[in-house]
Amino acid sequence: MIPQAELSALDIDELHHAKVAHIIETMHEHKSHYILVIKTDKETKKQHIVGLFATSQISKQLHKEITDSLGSVLSITELKKRDQQT
Protein backbone atom coordinates (compact mmCIF):
# COMPACT_ATOMS: atom_id res chain seq x y z
CA MET A 1 0.00 0.00 0.00
CA ILE A 2 1.26 3.50 -0.87
CA PRO A 3 0.99 6.21 1.80
CA GLN A 4 -1.30 9.07 0.74
CA ALA A 5 1.53 11.61 0.93
CA GLU A 6 3.47 9.62 -1.69
CA LEU A 7 0.67 9.40 -4.26
CA SER A 8 1.18 11.31 -7.48
CA ALA A 9 -1.74 13.43 -8.66
CA LEU A 10 -2.48 15.90 -11.43
CA ASP A 11 -5.24 18.48 -11.33
CA ILE A 12 -7.69 18.01 -14.17
CA ASP A 13 -7.53 21.74 -14.95
CA GLU A 14 -3.84 21.30 -15.81
CA LEU A 15 -4.57 18.50 -18.29
CA HIS A 16 -6.63 20.34 -20.88
CA HIS A 17 -3.68 20.70 -23.27
CA ALA A 18 -1.65 17.69 -22.13
CA LYS A 19 -0.64 15.02 -24.61
CA VAL A 20 -0.15 11.33 -23.89
CA ALA A 21 3.62 11.84 -24.03
CA HIS A 22 3.34 14.39 -21.20
CA ILE A 23 1.48 11.88 -19.04
CA ILE A 24 4.03 9.14 -19.78
CA GLU A 25 6.89 11.51 -19.01
CA THR A 26 5.28 12.48 -15.71
CA MET A 27 4.83 8.82 -14.78
CA HIS A 28 8.48 8.17 -15.52
CA GLU A 29 9.60 11.21 -13.52
CA HIS A 30 7.61 9.98 -10.52
CA LYS A 31 8.59 6.34 -11.18
CA SER A 32 4.94 5.46 -10.76
CA HIS A 33 2.61 3.09 -12.57
CA TYR A 34 -0.37 5.21 -11.53
CA ILE A 35 -1.21 8.90 -11.35
CA LEU A 36 -4.46 10.13 -9.87
CA VAL A 37 -6.46 12.85 -11.58
CA ILE A 38 -8.05 15.22 -9.09
CA LYS A 39 -10.34 18.23 -9.16
CA THR A 40 -10.01 20.88 -6.48
CA ASP A 41 -13.21 22.54 -5.30
CA LYS A 42 -12.56 26.28 -5.58
CA GLU A 43 -14.72 27.13 -2.57
CA THR A 44 -13.77 24.43 -0.09
CA LYS A 45 -10.29 23.62 -1.50
CA LYS A 46 -11.12 19.92 -1.08
CA GLN A 47 -9.68 17.56 -3.63
CA HIS A 48 -11.77 14.85 -5.28
CA ILE A 49 -10.48 11.96 -7.35
CA VAL A 50 -12.00 12.13 -10.84
CA GLY A 51 -9.76 9.73 -12.72
CA LEU A 52 -6.64 7.63 -12.86
CA PHE A 53 -3.87 7.16 -15.39
CA ALA A 54 -2.32 3.68 -15.37
CA THR A 55 0.70 2.59 -17.37
CA SER A 56 -1.02 -0.73 -18.11
CA GLN A 57 -4.01 0.99 -19.72
CA ILE A 58 -1.85 3.44 -21.67
CA SER A 59 0.29 0.51 -22.90
CA LYS A 60 -2.81 -1.33 -24.09
CA GLN A 61 -4.16 1.70 -25.91
CA LEU A 62 -0.82 2.47 -27.58
CA HIS A 63 -0.13 -1.22 -28.27
CA LYS A 64 3.29 -0.55 -26.72
CA GLU A 65 4.81 -1.56 -23.41
CA ILE A 66 5.71 1.61 -21.52
CA THR A 67 6.33 0.03 -18.12
CA ASP A 68 9.56 -1.69 -19.11
CA SER A 69 11.54 1.54 -18.88
CA LEU A 70 10.08 3.52 -16.01
CA GLY A 71 13.55 4.81 -15.28
CA SER A 72 13.77 6.62 -18.62
CA VAL A 73 11.40 8.93 -20.42
CA LEU A 74 9.86 7.75 -23.69
CA SER A 75 8.03 10.08 -26.00
CA ILE A 76 5.39 8.88 -28.43
CA THR A 77 7.90 9.42 -31.24
CA GLU A 78 10.44 7.18 -29.49
CA LEU A 79 7.81 4.49 -29.00
CA LYS A 80 6.93 4.61 -32.70
CA LYS A 81 10.61 4.41 -33.71
CA ARG A 82 11.13 1.43 -31.42
CA ASP A 83 8.09 -0.29 -32.97
CA GLN A 84 9.36 0.28 -36.51
CA GLN A 85 12.69 -1.33 -35.64
CA THR A 86 11.05 -4.58 -34.50
Mean pLDDT of 41-46: 95
Q: Is the pTM of this model over 0.75?
A: no
**pLDDT tens track for 52-83:** 999 999 999 999 888 776 654 445 455 556 55
User: Sheet of 9-11: strands edge to edge?
Assistant: 9-11, 34-40, 47-54
72 Cβ contact list (under 8 Å, min separation 6) = 28
